[in-house]
Amino acid sequence: MATLIDQAFLVATFGPIEMAQLADRNADGQQDVDPVGEAIAMADGLVMGALASAGLLPLPDPLPAGAAAVLKGYAADLARERLYGAGCPEVVRNRGNDARAWLKAPKIFGLSPAPASPLGSAGMPAHTAPARVFDDAGLEGF
């Protein structure tokens, strides 16, 4: 399954310099794939988990433009916060907190829970009973 965001989206959103600083863990001047992939997987898992708990999965294809922008933006904020780690600036931490708050009660433009399939009626239950032992005529006189 494809993720909401990828490394190219993070670079386009936050800029190549910031992403190079965050993702170059071994100081060789190149973005390391592992930390970025882990941050993307974590962010995607949080967003998709929130959507699943709200009953909004499966997502429509294609996503409405507003919903796609919101989902990708929050996923990018969460991934960026993860890449910063313990030394996260306050503005990045606040954006991550905003994303987590939204995920607790996702209000997504143009998305609604999938309608439940209607239950069909099978009619009345079958009923059979043995002949009555004590009928009105047999109980007369008691």
Return the pLDDT at 112. Answer: 66
In this predicted structure, the answer to whether residue 88 has a pLDDT above a threshold of 90 is: yes
pLDDT in tens, 90-137: 999 999 999 999 888 766 666 766 666 666 666 677 778 787 778 788
- Residue range 40-55: mean pLDDT, rounded: 91
Of residues 83, 85, 82, 93, the one with CA closest to residue 24: 83
Distance CA 78, CA 70 (A): 12
How is residue 26 written in tokens?
């071994």
- Residue range 58-76: mean pLDDT, rounded: 88
DSSP string for 10-24: HHHHH-HHHHHHHH-
Distance CA 49, CA 57 (A): 9
